[in-house]
Structure 1
Amino acid sequence: MRKLLSLSALGTLLASPALAASGPFFSLRNTDFVVLLGFLLFLGVLVYFKVPQMLTGQLDKRAAGIRSDLEEARALREEAQTLLASYERKQREVQEQADKIVAQARIDAEAAAEQARKDLDVSIARRLASAEGQIASAEAAAIKAVRDQAIVVAVAAARDVIARQMSAEDQSRMLDDSITQVGAKLH
């Protein structure tokens, strides 16, 4: 840093328009010389109070801070990548589990559908058997009703025929025989 300051002071002296002016340069009446002295005095005060060292110290501190921030950012990035890999692995595991659950649900649904078909077939067979039983029962009831009606008609026809052909005396005798039979069966 000192080399830079001394080089800048030397450059200032060499490039000064005062060198081109006429008259004595090292006079306090020469404004260029006075400005040069003020500038050199200012640079001396800066060096005396160690301003360049403070500036370089602050720059070094800032560089160290930036370096530590970069290291922290790298560490955070690595941690984030590790977390990302972990979450991606967990997401794959969860996806695999979800696929397994869906596959099992499909198998269960197919089994339930098959069982429902079987239950439906059994229910239909049971209802058909029940309907056939009801039809058979209705046929038997109809046949019995027809027979009963035929018996009623036959008895009525026989009564009419017997009533026409039977005399009062035959009726009394049959009535007495019936009472006798009923009395014998009851006692």
Structure 2
Amino acid sequence: MVDIITLTVAEGPSAFGIQDYVWVSLSMLVLIGVFVWKKVPGMIVAGLDSKIAEIKQQLDEAKALRAEAEALRDEYAAKIAGAEKDAEAMMENAGREAEAILTKAEADSEAMVARRKRMAEDKIAAAEREAVDAVRASAANAAAAASRSLIAERHDSAADKALADEVIASL
């Protein structure tokens, strides 16, 4: 007795005589058609365009703030240069005073010259320290105010974490 084995190809489910893969293709076409009909790509593009515009605005504001900070830096650098010129002028005046004292009284001139030079240098050092401290304090206050407003307006917790990491790394 000979057995004949017949193999049948398993067919997937079908409805109305249409195979399942055709139904999936038709469903995808209908879905894509609905997306195009409802203008979903246009909405996505409009959303991306608004994000781009917002980012450009933030970049422009950042450029303006940077220019302002650079102007402040240049202003304070000029103030420091002026303080250095004043210090040089004070040194010259102290030297002239020392020469006048030397010619006036030779007996006590060495003691008096040393005392006057020391006083002048202390005054110069104090004036330099005050000028530098004032410039640093003003720059720090301006930078802190600008940073505070920028951070308050544009940074979320993730950006704050990244900024903190960057500041720590720069120290």
Quickly name the TM-score band, shorter chain normalised: 0.3 to 0.5
* Structure with the larger RCO, 1 or 2 (CA within 8 Å, 6+ apart): 2
Q: If the length of structure 1 is used for normalisation, what is the TM-score? A: 0.44
Q: Which has the larger helix fraction?
A: 1
Q: If the length of structure 2 is used for normalisation, what is the TM-score? A: 0.47
